[in-house]
Amino acid sequence: MVDAVDDVDAMAAQAVRFGSGGHMSGTGTATEIDAVVFDVLGTLVDEPAGLRAGMRELAPALDEFGVERLLSLWQRHIEREQRRILDGDRPYLTSDVLDLEAARVVADAAGVDDPAAVAALALSARRLPPWHDTVAGLARIAERFPLIGLSNASRTALLGINAHAGLRWHQALSAEDARTYKPDPAVYQLAVTVSGLPPERLLMVAAHAWDLRGAQGLGLRTAYVARPVGDPPTASDRFDLHADDLTGLADQLAHV
């Protein structure tokens, strides 16, 4: 279930209640952090695991190689179509529409033409298991900071993901509200606007270097958390914090 803070005044009051955040040193000068913004897909939930489960339900006879082939088809479709939308080559469509498209591509490749099975596969994008440290890590960090979820998933999909994985927020924001996808700056601006804070007082947490670069472009501070399905930093990336998992990030934030 999502705990929502519906206005800026409530969010600001919560920042005070959490002890005015903390201080951190990273690529720049020491900066006060008053709220933490989390990517969801891949960072807090194991998206490939949930999709693999849906593909096994779609075609139980598939071996592991077959599942991985279908997973790659799904991922390539989503990545390509989101990029087309970002580039202005396609009007904005929610993640629900893109998931259904990807499910049709996968079902065609698997030789399945049952519309109900395709629809069920599309919904597997909402049944994503949390990483082992996610729920406890969020709870620890929430003791000091307001938490904002910021996802490319649609509003409806994000509700399902949060409920299935047991994610609890003070506010959950969908890229649907900006009618684009990360790393478009308009998506990160959603978190800045709802928090009522300057960008440099927000810490963006993600397992994807491309996501953190997008947040940096708007002035947010950044924390990279390693995940098996993430996009690791390059030698040229300069993020404020690095952690092997969410437990490690919570340990670091306890001392900023």
Phi, psi at residue 183, to the nearest 5°? -95, 30
- pLDDT of 65 > 60? The answer is yes
The helix-helix angle for 95-110 and 155-165 (nearest 10°) equals 70
Region 218-230: mean pLDDT is 97
Per-residue tokens: 223: 């924390």
pLDDT of residue 220: 98
Residue corresponding to tokens 């202005």: 88
The predicted structure's pLDDT at residue 164: 98
| Cα 25 → chain centroid | 24
Mean pLDDT of 189-197: 98
Task: Please determine, for residue 8, whether its predicted confidence score (pLDDT) is greater than 90.
Answer: no
pLDDT at 106 over 50: yes
Average pLDDT estimate for 126-153: 97
Q: Which of 8-12, 37-41, 135-139, 206-210 has the lowest mean pLDDT?
A: 8-12
Quote the pLDDT of residue 94.
98
User: How far is 215 from 202, CA to CA, in rounded Å?
Assistant: 10
Rounded to whole angstroms, the Cα distance separating 26 from 29 reads: 7
Cα 71 to Cα 106: distance, rounded to the nearest angstrom: 8
The domains located in the chain, with CATH, are 8-45+129-253 (3.40.50.1000), 47-126 (1.10.150)
Q: Coil, strand, or helix at residue 111?
A: coil
Phi, psi of 255 (to 5 degrees): -120, 10
pLDDT for res 24: 55
pLDDT at 26: 47
Q: Tell me, what's the pLDDT at 255?
A: 82
Residues 33 and 86: their CA atoms lie apart, in Å, by: 30
Give this prediction's pTM. 0.88
SS3 state at 38:
strand
Average pLDDT on 243-255 reads 94
What's the CA angle centered on 93, arms 40 and 192, to 5 degrees? Answer: 45
The model's pLDDT over 90-101, given as tens digits with 9 standing for 90+, comes to 999 999 999 999
Indicate if the pLDDT at residue 1 is higher than 50.
Answer: no
Q: In 3-state terms, what secondary structure has residue 171?
A: strand
Given this model, what pLDDT does residue 31 score? 60
> Is pLDDT at 21 greater than 80 in this prediction?
no
Q: Is 154 left (phi over 0), alpha (psi -120 to 50) or beta?
A: beta
Distance, CA of 54 to CA of 87 (rounded, Å): 30
Q: How confident is the model at residue 256 (pLDDT cuts 50, 70, 90)?
A: confident
The pLDDT value recorded for residue 138 is 97
What values do phi and psi take at 172, rounded to 5? -120, 125
